[in-house]
Amino acid sequence: MKEIVEQKSLFCLPWAQTILGTHLEGKANFMALDWLTRVNFSPPMLGICVNKNNASHAAIADTGEFSINVPSVDMVEVTDYTGLVSGKRVDKSGLFEVFYGELKSAPMITDCPITIECRVSQTVDLPTNTFFIADIVNIYSEERFLTDGKPDVTKVRPFVLTMPDNTFWAIGESIGKAWNAGKSLRKQLKQEDDA
Ligand SMILES: Cc1cc2nc3c(=O)[nH]c(=O)nc-3n(C[C@H](O)[C@H](O)[C@H](O)COP(=O)(O)O)c2cc1C
């Protein structure tokens, strides 16, 4: 028998762990961010949800720019730290070595295997958060994190967060290829249909 889970916010789908980079009053600021999704195929766009109380929210509203940084598993401690303290009270600008691409207010973390610079194109005002929809301006990586020119998850070694247990997880074993694992079932069901 199915039971209703008491708190509607508690579901255990994993989120990709990232670090949001912004410019807060001219200085780099960083915060742990999990609420991120791709929202458009072409041009490539993504969306992030940021709480209105966070300094990062004011920073994005001010500059219209941000970066998404994908940390690897060996960056768990510093990633979590960026989510424990606010740029309103603590200067987080010296935590990472940064570099800049085309955008002046999207500091990217050199140590993160994948970094993405983004320019906000639309905002959706929600009760406690703002959903910032942004164009992906550029994605940066290094040869050592790529296979055949594409980011390789086994080299990037990203991690994910689950709630309500508030746990970080490394990516586990591969269990199949997407757009492929369902092909034999598709064939089988088609044959049954045709029969
Ligand atoms: C693991 C983790 C994930 C988080 N994900 C988000 C998120 O997706 N959106 C958000 O608004 N806050 C999120 N937070 C909270 C912010 O990171 C936290 O409030 C941070 O201190 C804000 O920093 P700032 O005030 O310098 O922007 C997360 C915190 C942690 C620890």
Confidence of residue 11 (pLDDT cuts 50, 70, 90): confident
Say yes or no: CB of residue 80 within 6 Å of ligand 1: yes
* CA 51 to ligand 1 centroid distance, Å: 8
Q: Which atom of ligand 1 is nearest to the CA of 80?
A: 31
Radius of gyration of the chain (CA): 19
Confidence of residue 67 (pLDDT cuts 50, 70, 90): very high
Say yes or no: CB of residue 32 within 6 Å of ligand 1: yes
Selection from 67, 52, 46 nearest residue 132 by Cα: 46
Q: Is the pLDDT of residue 9 over 80?
A: no
For a pocket test of ligand 1, which of 27, 29, 31 has the largest count of ligand atoms closer than 8 A to its C-beta? 31
Q: Whose CA is nearest to atom 15 of ligand 1?
A: 83
* CA 42 to ligand 1 centroid distance, Å: 28
- Predicted TM-score (pTM) of the model is 0.96
Confidence of residue 30 (pLDDT cuts 50, 70, 90): very high
Q: Can you give the pLDDT at residue 12?
A: 81
Spatial contact of 48 and 36, defined as CB atoms under 8 Å apart: yes
Strands (E), 112-181: 114-125, 129-140, 146-147, 150-151, 159-162, 167-170
Using a pLDDT cut of 70, give the percent of the chain over it.
Answer: 100
Q: Is the pLDDT of residue 86 over 80?
A: yes
Q: Which atom of ligand 1 is nearest to the CA of 49?
A: 9
CA distance 137 to 139: 7
